[in-house]
Amino acid sequence: MIEEIKTRRSIRRYKQYEIPTEVVNKIIQAGRFAPSGKNKQPWKFIVYGGDAKRNLLAKMEAGLQRELSGKAFLPDSAYGLPDAGNTLQIMREAPTLVVVMNPYGKSPFEQITVDERVTEIVDALSIGAAIENMLLEAERLGIGTLWIGNTFFAYPELAEFVKEPGQLVGAVAMGYAEEKPGQRPRKRLETILEYRY
């Protein structure tokens, strides 16, 4: 698995070939086997393709337009809107899109208690582990992926469209890669590692 860890890249250009369902299932299975706090397994994966994906992304576009129109829910994050628009184009190009939900979570626009915030953090760690498992299994199977957080700009529109209880955490675009990006710079080990005895 170390090879997949080293060779995995964020893919932003895809060939227009559908991923077989059995391959998508293997990728989701890898996510299912991730560790989670108290074995809660706080995830649900909804796979979109075809017209369903186009309809979902129309809602994302509507949310981005709302953010740009002066009715922004995330005004302090407006600097990220051009990147979110680019992400939307990537999501349109990818044949498969997996929406990641936390069935136990709440909307980021809801007030929550400190205890609920701690639970949300543990769930986020667990879901991150599941997504990383999926990305690595996809790499092993020759499938390109992009882990997407820009869905937050269109959170109300997407959540209403998906109609699932809980928190919409993000998405993963999948497809056969049309590019082979080089490795992006990494911080040197000594700048991020400290031992204390």
- More confident position, 182 or 39: 39
Which pLDDT belongs to residue 1? 77
Taking the model in full, what pTM does it have?
0.95
Distance CA 101, CA 98 (A): 10
Give the confidence band of 186 by pLDDT, cuts at 50, 70, 90: very high
Tell me what pLDDT residue 88 has.
98
- Nearest alpha carbon to residue 171 among 99, 106, 112: 99
- For a pLDDT cut of 90, what percent of the chain falls above it? 95
DSSP string, 96-111: EEEEEEETT---TTS-
Q: Residues 67-93: what's their mean pLDDT?
A: 96
In the prediction, which pLDDT does 95 show?
Answer: 98
Which of the 8 DSSP states describes residue 195? -
Tell me, rounded to whole angstroms, the distance of Cα 43 from its chain centroid: 12
Which CA distances in Å does 192 have to 13, 121, 122, 188, 197? 31, 22, 22, 7, 17
Largest CA distance in the chain: 57
CA distance 19 to 26: 11
